[in-house]
Structure 1
Amino acid sequence: MSDSGRKKSRLVADKRYSKRKPAPQKRRKAPARRRTKRGARVRNPLLRLFLWIAHLIWRVTWALGWRIALVSVLIIGIATGYVYATLPPAGQMLDGRASGSVTLMDRENAVFAWRGDQFGGVVTAETVSPHLKNAVIATEDKRFYRHIGLDPIGIAGAIRINLREGRGPLSGNGGSTITQQTAKLLCLGVKYDPDVWESETAYEADCRESSLWRKAKEAIYALALEAKYTKDDILSIYLNRAYMGGGAYGAEAASQRFFGKSAAQLTPAESAILAGLLTAPTTLAPTNNLERSRNRASVVIGLMRDQGYLSDSAARQALANPATLSEAAESRAGGYFADWVMSSGPDFFTRNTSEDVIIRTTLDQRIQKAAEDGLTEIFENKVRDDSKAQAAVVVMSADGAVRAMVGGRQTKAIGAFNRATQALRQTGSAFKPFVYATALELGYSPLDTVEDAPLTIDVPGSGPWSPKNYDRKFRGTVTLAEALRSSLNVPAVKIAQGVGLDRVRRVAADFGIESDLADGPALALGASESTLIEMTGAYAGILNGGSAVTPYGLENLTMLGEEEPVMTATGGIGERVIRREAAQKLTWMMNRVVNQGTGRRAALDGWQVAGKTGTTQAARDAWFIGFTADYVAGVWMGYDDNTPLTGVTGSGLPAEIWHEVMIRVHEGAAPRPLPMQEPDAATQPDTRAPNRRSRPQSGIERLLRSILGGG
């Protein structure tokens, strides 16, 4: 049979070598998901739209960003280049004074005060103490030598601190580099122009503006500074221009003002004080609050140690031995005396000077301390704590050279009301020596007599006036010396009337009392007003033998760097007012005031003292002015509002203040006799007949005696 119609079965070998691939197995369909590979197709249409928009924004931002960045760089570069081209050599940028300064020196040529904006001289980063240089960098800009004028890390840190403390991003910490601070000190190169700015205050306010636009200009200026100058040049400009408190601009001025030494000699502790001032120069000035300044310096020392500028041992030593102020700095810049000297000179050399000026004065710092200590002694121990009473003291030589001045109880005040030179007060009986000086000049003797009895004078325009003595008693016939010794009022009025009120006014004015003097008979009792310095100067004329003096504190004025003074003393001894003999007799009379009369509390053991007390109506003013052979001193006491003093007269607390001051002034000095002349015994009146004289009388004496009621 044929098997051609049957299907043949496949051999095993056919299966083994077959080229046909097996059909793939059908897999379960997986859910759609996002592929993470780049270029993968995202099947979610919303997500795909979002990614497309983001990609578009990115491409546009990138396209615009690099172009804007390029343009910004070009603009910044051009602006920086322009500023760079306008910058002068570094040496011309060091002196930043807007006005001059005044340095005041005492009679020993020691600096005791400054006025104006002090500029001590140019320093550089190489010449200042390395401790100061390191302290400034550690405090103000620790990456100073590593940045290009801007410090993004510092700015970010400052913004973070400001936001954390609830301030605006640009308020408080600024993160400014030393270069940026220097740009601000230079006011971005804009100089003061009175035609543009309303005032220097407005100009300075604009320089300190902190807006974003101002910050941007400051950054460009800082970049230009970095391109133009070296790092040390920039630091030098900063150290010369930065305000460091107390009126001192620059490291040298601050070093001289606070420590009395060059900036090259500063110790780590002193350097830390100055570096600490840069954050708040007025608040932290050591002359305002030394303890606060030292606390800030401790922080600076810690920064110096942490940044490797000080070893642990050096830091411990600096903390254990904080900086101390110089004597001049401790004196709070000269107080009343310095203010008075500044006001006594011409404005263009003192308050408005555009140059650095040196003034040599008459101040004796030992005597100044004696005056301050003597006044403080009385107020601390003999005046009640709640008293508002004030006092003033002036000490001068016989030629009018003022050696000390205290213008109020706050002995260290600066710019305060000076009661020694500015307060016009009634002089009371302190004026009487000029009445007797007039009589003595006309030939009267201290031993001539006058009747102390009730007196009534018809004053034109005022009616009858009846002066009375302080104790309301009358003593009958008294000598002129006795009348002055007991400060009797009626005899003083009679003598003034007798010699002529015009003559008394002229003598007082010639002695230096320039204030308006009363026209009526009350002139003799001190109804006129005067200042303490005028009255003390007038008494100095009595001590020097009868010649007028003009009190002065300025000996000479020299421009810094010059040798020849441009101005010399504006005061001193002037013309003769009364004869030497008359002045010496008056001194003898005033010596009896202290030895036997109202001024006994002013007496000094071993010293001859002459003086006079004074108490005005209702005790609104109390005076004691007196002198030894060496010095004249005046003391005034009262209330600024004219409230009457309680239980105080010139013979009381003012005399005691005078005593406390002068016992310190004369400490260690050998006593010298007063230039006084005791009246000749032959001219003394007969005690049995007080009004008769044993010597011939001149015509003027007879006339005066008849007027005075002495027989």
Structure 2
Amino acid sequence: MAKNGKARLVADKRRTPDPARAKPRKSRRKPAKPQAARRRGLVYWLLWPLRKVLRLAWALSWRGAAIAVLILAAATAYNYTRIPDMATLADGRARGSVTLQDRESQTFAWRGDNFGGLVTTEGVSPHLVNAVVASEDKRFYSHFGVSPRGIAGAMRTNVQAGRSPFSGSGGSTITQQVAKLLCLGTDWDPSTGMSEAEFEADCRAGTVWRKVKEIPYAFALELKFTKDEILAIYLNRAYLGAGARGFAAASQRYFGDAASDLNPAEAAMLAGLLPAPSYYAPTSNLARAQERAQTVLRLMHEQGLLTTAQFTQAMENPATLSPAAREDTGGYFADWVMSSGPDFLTADTTEDVLIRTTLDQDIQHAAEAALAHVFETQVRDGSEAQAAIVVMSADGAVRAMVGGRNTRGGGLFNRAIQAVRQTGSSFKPFVYAAALDLGWRHDSPVLDSELAIKVPGSGTYSPANYTNQFYGEVTLTDALARSLNAATVRLSEQVGRDIVRNVANQFGIQSDMAEGPALALGVSESTLLEMTGAYAGILNGGTSVTPYGLTQLTLRGERTPLLDHDSGLGERVIQENAARQLVYMMSQVVERGTGTRAQLPDGRPAAGKTGTTQAARDAWFIGFTGDYVAGVWMGYDDNTPLSGVTGGGLPAEIWRETMARIHDGMPITPLPMIDPATVARPEPQPQVARTPAPAPQQEEPGLADRILMDVLGGIFRQN
């Protein structure tokens, strides 16, 4: 007790609570909201009811992505197992190539898909590698086959250009372009009915599904090959126009150089062909190809792949074509040679073939220039008239062929071999050849007078001369020089149509010939090549020839030729003396007859024959010097009559212009003909030659007479 009497207050003795027995006190306060929750705004509360939907979407997304990755991995693995080795992929052509060389072994034309051989990135010019990478895929060495950045940029470009995001530029990497070139591992099958060009176009179609399929194939390529190997496949398989498959072939085709020797300007021009090979091909438009090359050069310079000095040098000295590529000559001749050889070694070859030909490029240039000159100076502007020229040696070796006024390119309609037209008076030399071979002479008389022959089923045939006059008794030489129709028909009837037809056929006229008396005046049809070849037989002394252009065919890399051909000479058709007389008679055509406009400068002797068909639908001049035979045809493709043109007019001018250019600077070679001043007096004519000329209204010779003439013809032919 306290001193003051009051009881002292003492606190109860507190016990230390046992943590194990302590019970948590219940708080009557609501817990405070977390600070983060307080900071969430309206968007959070709006999406709060959708949180389960969002969680589901997320779950589906990553699971779907995982499934897509698995599918992509499986597709990549599948493609990986299907991709063959690099050597197999490098040359993916479905057909081989044909390289054509002239008589001097100089290349002048290419056909098929040319392949210059397998190249690697180490084996080509470094400028070429840089040009391709700079212009096609500057991130090639850093991506894994697909460039998302490139695809996004391409889509943006397409949208800005007003196209669909998947139309136009595709943003494909070089690896993806290789996948396209390989057609995702599918080879062309002709049995599908789709052409090779259609198949390749389908492989390069920029559809969404095609793009999707490219991705695993591109990944498989990246796993299968190194970057340089992928680039090498691209360098070997890319089509670069003008039949060139791969950069090695293109380098030879355009520049005549190996791919290892390309300078920056040349490399840029080749790389510039990749987006549109036919459009940018320098053989089609050199200026356009050079402009495109400048774009590639700027890209190379901007990416540090060209020094400023190299860039300036290349810009100031653009690439130009090699002489062979620049000339682009002999297209008609090349097409003819391709068609004359075996298909499995020419048009349908799966091998690389080298063909040596008879072409003389100087003569070819002369013929093309002559044709262009005459049409420019003597034919009215806008005329659609056409012309063709064939030049050959006396043994049938074709030295030049012009199949029309358009002389550039291949696959054009070749009027020298494809136009089958009436020959007109250019057929007459075969009538005189038959007569001379039977014993007539160049100065034998023949009557040029009115003639009427009854032809069963056709009425009476009465040929008239061009002048509508008759000249009485004339020599064979005069009749041919003046191209007298009545005299020629009368001579043909005396000789016998079957004999005339047989002589023409043996000289090389393979077309069906007319049966009636009009045979003598060239109503039968033939080609310029056939007719020129037949005249070559006259020049060489009476021996038939088969026109030829292929002299040697060899597989590339082989030394032994598969085909070897050095002459077109065949069997003798008429006696040499008869041929020499006929050459003299034809020289008079040029000297004083219907072909005077074909006379050559410097007194060079020439011989030939004019020909004009009914209504002047066709005009011909075929002739020769001591060195070459040349034939010219002129007309319209639709058989429209020529206006004021005969064989002795423009065709003779074209012939003269051609032969003058060919023989410029050549020594004069005399014609193989008789000298009439030294020829002995004529001996008595054989009985067949003395058959009286048919009088007006005369019937055709009887069967007995025809048999007799044929027998006598055979007897004289053997002498």
- TM-score normalised by structure 1 residue count: 0.90
Q: Give matches, 1:189-204, under 5 Å.
A: 189-194=185-190, 200=196, 203-204=199-200
- Structure 1 CA distance, aligned partners of 2:148 and 2:449? 93
Give the match for residue 402 of structure 2.
406
Aligned-pair identity (%): 61
CA contact (8 A) 1:244 1:278 kept: yes
Task: State the Cα distance separating 1:309 from its structure 2 match.
Answer: 1.2
Give the equivalent residue in structure 1 for 2:621.
Answer: 624
8 Å CA contact retained: 1:426, 1:528: yes
Cα deviation for residue 324 of structure 1 reads: 1.2
Check the 8 A contact 1:451/1:476 in 2, yes or no.
yes
Determine the C-alpha separation between the residues in 2 that align with 1:135 and 1:630. 51
Contact 1:601 1:652 in 2 (8 A): yes
The answer for the alignment partner of 1:573 in structure 2 is 569
Alpha-carbon distance in 2 for matches of 1:192, 1:97: 10
Q: Which residue of 2 is the match for residue 142 of structure 1?
A: 138
Residue among 382, 389, 394 paired with 2:390: 394
Is the Cα contact below 8 Å between 2:453 and 2:462 reproduced in 1?
yes
Match of 2:333, as an amino acid? F
The answer as to 2:590 corresponding to 1:594 is: yes
For residue 512 of structure 1, report the CA deviation from its aligned partner: 0.2
Q: Which amino acid aligns with 1:170?
A: F
Alpha-carbon displacement from aligned partner over 1:366-414 (angstroms, at most 9, x marks no partner): 0000000011110000010021111110000000110000111112242
Which amino acid counterpart does residue 175 of structure 2 have in structure 1? T
Residue 638 of structure 2 is matched in structure 1 by 641
Amino acid at match of 1:276: G
Contact 1:331 1:412 in 2 (8 A): no
Equivalent position amino acid for 1:665 in 2 = I
Paired residue type of 1:608: P
1:129 match: 125
The CA RMSD measured in Å over matched residues stands at: 2.3
Is 1:557 aligned to residue 553 of structure 2? yes
State the alpha-carbon separation in 1 of the partners of residues 184 and 177 from structure 2. Answer: 10
Write out aligned runs for 1:35-434 (5 A). 37-40=35-38, 49-53=45-49, 55-194=51-190, 200=196, 203-332=199-328, 334-434=330-430
| 1:664 corresponds to | 661
Tell me which moved more, 67-76 or 666-675.
Answer: 67-76
Structure 2 Cα separation of the partners of residues 479 and 592 of structure 1: 12
Structure 1: where are the runs of 5+ without partners?
1-34, 685-692
Is this contact kept in 1: 2:454–2:460, CA < 8 A? yes
Q: How does 1:424-463 map to 2 (within 5 A)?
A: 424-463=420-459
Which of the residues 456, 461, 467 maps onto 2:463?
Answer: 467
Amino acid paired to 1:210? G
Kept in 2, the 8 Å contact 1:101–1:116? The answer is: yes
User: What's the CA shift string for 1:469-496, capped at 9, x where partnerless?
Assistant: 1111122221111111111111111110
Q: Tell me how far apart the structure 1 counterparts of residues 643 and 101 of structure 2 sit (CA, whole Å).
A: 40
> Is the alpha carbon distance of 1:559 and 1:74 closer, same or farther for their aligned partners in structure 2, counting shifts above 3 Å?
same
Equivalent residues, number: 666
CA contact (8 A) 1:499 1:704 kept: no
Residue 544 of structure 2: SS of its match in structure 1?
A: strand
Amino acid at match of 2:84: P
How far residue 197 of structure 1 moved from its aligned partner, in angstroms, is: 6.8
Cα 1:199–1:681, aligned 2, differ >3 Å: closer, same or farther? closer
Question: What is the alpha-carbon distance in structure 2 between the residues aligned to residue 73 and residue 642 of structure 1?
Answer: 69
Among candidates 606, 612, 615, match of residue 615 of structure 1? 612
1:148 shift after superposition: 1.0
Q: Secondary structure at the match of 1:354?
A: coil
> Which residue number corresponds to residue 653 of structure 1?
650
- Residue of structure 2 in register with 1:535 after alignment: 531
1:659 partner letter: R
CA distance in 2, matches of 1:543, 1:36: 116
1:681 positional shift = 5.2
CA gap of 1:597–1:163, structure 2 versus 1, over 3 A, is same
CA distance in 1, matches of 2:131, 2:538: 59
- CA 1:595–1:176 in 2, change beyond 3 Å: closer, same or farther? same
CA positional deviation for 1:62: 3.8
Is the Cα–Cα contact under 8 Å of residues 498 and 707 in structure 1 kept in the other structure? no
The amino acid across from 2:112 in the alignment is G
Secondary structure of the 1:574 match is strand
Distance 2:684 2:202 in 1: 85
Q: Deviations over 1:203-247 (max 9, x none)?
A: 434422333332222111111111111110000001111111122
Change in Cα spacing, 1:91 to 1:681, as seen in structure 2 (3 Å) is closer
3-state SS, counterpart of residue 481 of structure 1: helix
**Cα deviation 1:28-76 (Å, max 9, x = unaligned):** xxxxxxx99523276x8x7554142465455444434333333333332
SS in 1 for 2:325: helix
1:614 match: secondary structure: strand
The runs of 5 or more residues in structure 2 that have no matched partner are: 1-32, 699-719
Q: Is the 8 A contact 1:332 1:414 kept in 2?
A: no
CA distance in 1, matches of 2:481, 2:572: 25
**249 and 467 in structure 1: CA distance in 2 versus 1, 3 angstrom threshold:** same
SS state at 1:578 partner: coil
Does the C-alpha gap of structure 1 residues 137 and 56 become closer, same or farther in structure 2, counting only changes over 3 Å? same
Asked if the contact 2:451–2:695 (Cα under 8 Å) also holds between the matched residues in 1, the reply is no
**4+ residue segments displaced more than 6 Å:** 704-709
8 Å contact 1:114–1:333 — kept in the other structure? Answer: no
* Cα distance change of structure 1 residues 683 and 314 upon mapping to structure 2, 3 Å threshold: same
Structure 1 residues 221 and 197: CA distance shift in structure 2, 3 A = farther
> For 1:108-140, what per-residue CA distance to the aligned partner results, in whole angstroms no more than 9, with x for missing partners?
111111111222211111111111111100000
1:178-224 CA-to-partner distances (Å, cap 9, x unmatched) read 01111111111122345667554554344223333322221111111
Distance 1:330 1:41 in 2: 78
Out of 568-577 and 623-632, give the one that drifted further: 568-577
